[in-house]
Amino acid sequence: MSEIADTIVVLTARSADRIIREGGSQAWVLNPIRARQCAWLVCAQNRHNKNHDERYDGTEPHGMGFLLGRISAIRKAPEDGADSDRWQIAISEFARINVPHAWNHGRNPVRYTSLASLGFSLDGIEFHPMPRLTEAPRHSDQPTAIESEPMLTITEAKKRLAATFGVKPDAVEIVIRG
């Protein structure tokens, strides 16, 4: 019997500090419906990235699992725009980890698995809440403080629910009782 995939492992060239500043790991081509069923994000370091720009600042050994996060949302990647097919795996809390060979050398940089199949235990892991600061979109190099979450409109809620359940937004009905 196969284990339930509760974890997404990504092979990223970004550092833990950058992922924390950005609120999660991005910009991934993934199945958002499947990704939303996972509870955990494990970031493994990619030191073989051919693009050498400021986004790729990782310093851990290649394949090392260096960051564990509790997934809070799967949303469009802010750096690639609303029309992109790339997604951010947002996290609500994180722990720095040191897991050699967390990457299985697969060709796809996104893998669905379980913590158990990685041989990983949450015993003794100290989680930290995500900071309230996030990096501004790539057009600006100045960080932006988030004071409060933006208001959610009915239209946006319908779009998000439709994406979660794989239906069209007009198939979603929302009732508010007050």
Q: Is the peptide bond before 27 cis (omega within 30 degrees of 0)?
A: yes
Please check the confidence at residue 126 and state whether its pLDDT lies above 50: yes
Instruction: List pLDDT tens digits, range 131-157.
Output: 875 444 443 333 333 333 455 778 878
Tell me how far apart the alpha carbons of residues 68 and 7 are, in angstroms, rounded to a whole number.
10
Q: For 118-140, give one letter per residue: b (16+ CB within 10 A) or e.
A: bebeeeeeeeeebeeebbeeeee
Give the pLDDT confidence score for residue 141 in this predicted structure: 39
Tell me how far apart the alpha carbons of residues 154 and 162 are, in angstroms, rounded to a whole number.
12
Give the pLDDT confidence score for residue 70 in this predicted structure: 96
Q: What is the pTM of this model?
A: 0.71
Instruction: List pLDDT tens digits, range 13-67.
Output: 999 999 999 999 988 999 999 999 999 999 999 977 666 556 667 778 788 899 9
H or E segment and range at residue 69: strand 65-76
